[in-house]
Amino acid sequence: MATMADIARQAGVSLSTVSYVLSGRRPVSEATRQRVLQAMEALDYHPHAVARSLRSRRSRAIALIFPPSLAKGLIETQLEFVASAAAVASQEGYNLLLWTAPTDDAGIVRMTRQGLIDGLILMEIKARDSRVEMLRARNYPFTMIGRCRDNTGISFVDLDMDHAMRTCLRYLVDLGHRRVAFVNYSPALFEAGYGPAVYFWESFHQMVREWGVAGQAVLCDTTPQAGYEAARRLLDEQPAPTAIFTTNERAIGGITQAILEAGLKIPDDVSFVALASPRLAEVTSPALTTLDFPAAEEGRVATEMLIRRLEEDLTEPTQVLVQARLTVRQSSGPCRA
């Protein structure tokens, strides 16, 4: 197996020159660089990635800290976050690690000190998140999919939740619906201050007041059975809602089942709209009207932000809100109550 010394002899240059060509730490003339590259090709030399990392003190790896709920199985939007982030990292010459181990601040600190990664992407952000405060205080490179109440100096990409809620409610009100129910995330997530659970809750109550709509919001565990039970309770109310909106993707199947078991038709009796992956929407029956969750875009933007900070040593934060697009399918229609 060829070594760097073999490359130096073949190219007629010093060992340090070969090292500079590989690491890019010092400028080398184009003619010399080409001689080194031709020697590498002739001797079938492939530089060892770990050795390069040790020389440059860069691992060329970033980590996506994935929620512990991974054990329950990936939903469509989570798959899109991961796939998009992995694609961008690969294109930019980085490895992406899915890291589920650190569930507390101490675990994340240990991980950042091991030198295995150059930066982090955080998900499942809370309105007040101690992990974010810890990383910000240490000036460690990271970006977020999601946002806190205070995002000073932090780069993030997140869904514009006010826009999503306003788009959904305006659509339903224009169809004549005046009794709208909102099925949110779980009580545990809401009490923990999980950003989307809190922000959507606040946005829903603000907007039904603005428009004079009779709105009812419920918290729902992230399972189909919990969605079923939440929808049955809502439909037992008098008067019952004529439209249901959910951001809880795992609850969609249960909500659909509850509506149908109550002897109601979708959308004739109850319109159903969800914030979800378009791929999921197209395999439901009836096809689900959705606010299409831009998960792939969020994964892409967060990864590009982090790599740009690492490569260009950027200090100014970039903050991006992306908007969900309403796609009308077969699960929504005019209010006939």
List, for residues 259-307, the tens digit of each pLDDT value. Answer: 999 999 999 999 999 999 988 888 888 999 999 999 999 999 999 999 9
Phi, psi of 142 (to 5 degrees): -155, 155
Contact 207, 171 (CB under 8 A): no
What is the architecture of the domain spanning 161-293?
3-Layer(aba) Sandwich (3.40)
103-135 pLDDT, tens per residue?
Answer: 567 778 777 777 788 999 999 899 999 989 999
- Domain 61-159+295-324 has what CATH class? alpha beta
Q: Write out the residue limits of the CATH 3.40.50.2300 domain(s) in the chain.
A: 61-159+295-324, 161-293
Residue 50 has pLDDT above 50, yes or no: no
Q: Which one of 3.30.420.80, 1.10.260.40, 1.20.1260.10, 3.30.1490.190 gives the CATH number of domain 4-56?
A: 1.10.260.40
d(CA 205, CA 166): 11
Helix (H, G, I), strand (E, B) or coil at 337: coil
Please tell me the pTM assigned to this model: 0.80
Contact 286, 329 (CB under 8 A): yes
Mean of the per-residue pLDDT values of the chain: 88
Helix (H, G, I), strand (E, B) or coil at 177: coil
Tell which residue, 214, 124, 203, 125, has the closest CA to residue 162: 203
d(CA 320, CA 162): 14
d(CA 68, CA 184): 20
pLDDT at 198: 97
Contact 208, 214 (CB under 8 A): yes
- DSSP class of residue 241 equals P
d(CA 318, CA 269): 45
Q: Which residue has the tokens 């002897």?
A: 263
Confidence band, pLDDT 50/70/90 cuts, at residue 48: low
Q: Write out the residue limits of the CATH 1.10.260.40 domain(s) in the chain.
A: 4-56
Tell which residue, 128, 134, 96, 95, has the closest CA to residue 113: 134
Give every CB contact of residue 221 below 8 A, 6+ residues apart in sequence. Answer: 186, 187, 188, 251
Contact 274, 332 (CB under 8 A): no
